[in-house]
Amino acid sequence: MSRLRPAGRPPRTPRSWGGLTPPDPTGPAGLLRTSRLVKVYRADGVEVEAIRGVDLEIAAGEFVAVMGPSGSGKSTLLHVLGGLEPATAGEIWLQGERVDRLSTAAWAILRRRHVGIVFQFFNLLSNMTVADNVELPALLAGATPRQARKRREELLAELGIADKAAAAPARLSGGEQQRVALARALANEPSLLLADEPTGNLDSSNTRDVLRLLRRAHAGGQAILMVTHDARVASLADRVINLFDGMVADDVKMVPIPRRLGGVGDVVELRG
């Protein structure tokens, strides 16, 4: 399994859909698209609208950050887009295929081959070593044991935790578990990475390692949809979507300002 590609190299061709309906070239444009997406939770006769009519589109290879106050629906949106929770209403399209109506089993196949997820609370398998946690997604996606091992070694080395390969997740710090979770999500080279606060448990040094890997994944053609509370992290994205009360409050492009001689570095400006 190849390394993440450097900037300038074209994105890879998506894998087989493994029995699912292949992408429809006449379907909605973009890698991921939603239309009037709604998620309602019901408990004790009370309804809570966590997502209210969200329309969004993410192009192949695009890096999009999602921000908003606690309770605005950010994590719920990622869970619905990854098929972990069913949408109450609306449509989800991935690579031209409508996926919101898929069965649980079909969603599992789709995630295995095309979608990586970084959970806010890691969700590592406690009865497996770090190495096994990272290699498993690649093996399930069809990689050979040798390919999965090579991929795992690359990812853990880049994140500075190669020496933790034989450890159990419970013996790691929160920051180390976060990095393992990211390595696991990238192990099968997904077309789309859904990341829920991937730097939320990291110090500044480890945050740089994670962001460096995300930038390389982005440069290699992977689309990223990342929830974050950190404006500095969000500034690395191509676009920033702000959610408020389950709705898109604004969607802005991040436009790099050319570096000038004697300047202090790259900054960005927001354009609606």
The boundaries of the domain holding residue 193 are 59-87+103-258+266-271
Strand pairing class (97-98; 115-118) = unpaired
Contacts of 43 (CB under 8 A, 6+ apart): none
Instruction: Report yes or no on 3 lying in a domain.
Output: no
Q: How many domains in the chain?
A: 1
Per-residue pLDDT, 256: 65
Q: Both tokens of residue 141?
A: 């996606």
Instruction: Report yes or no on 16 lying in a domain.
Output: no
Are 180 and 161 in contact by the 8 Å Cβ rule? The answer is yes
Q: Both tokens of residue 70?
A: 């606690």
Instruction: Report yes or no on 152 lying in a domain.
Output: yes
Instruction: Report yes or no on 14 lying in a domain.
Output: no
- The CATH number for 111's domain is 3.40.50.300
Per-residue pLDDT, 50: 95
Q: Compute the distance between CA of residue 84 and CA of residue 117 in angstroms, rounded to an integer.
A: 10
Could you tell me the strand order of the sheet in which 97-98 lies? 46-58, 32-43, 89-94, 97-98
Instruction: Report yes or no on 81 lying in a domain.
Output: yes
Per-residue pLDDT, 180: 92
pLDDT grade, residue 163 (50/70/90)?
Answer: very high
pLDDT in tens, 82-119: 999 999 999 999 989 999 999 999 999 999 889 999 88
Per-residue pLDDT, 10: 42
Instruction: Report yes or no on 97 lying in a domain.
Output: no
Instruction: Report yes or no on 111 lying in a domain.
Output: yes
Percent of the chain with pLDDT over 70: 83
pLDDT in tens, 130-141: 999 999 999 988
pLDDT in tens, 240-255: 999 999 999 999 998 7
Per-residue pLDDT, 119: 83
Q: Compute the distance between CA of residue 224 and CA of residue 96 in angstroms, rounded to an integer.
A: 17
Instruction: Report yes or no on 15 lying in a domain.
Output: no
pLDDT grade, residue 258 (50/70/90)?
Answer: low
Q: What is the mean pLDDT of residues 36-40?
A: 97
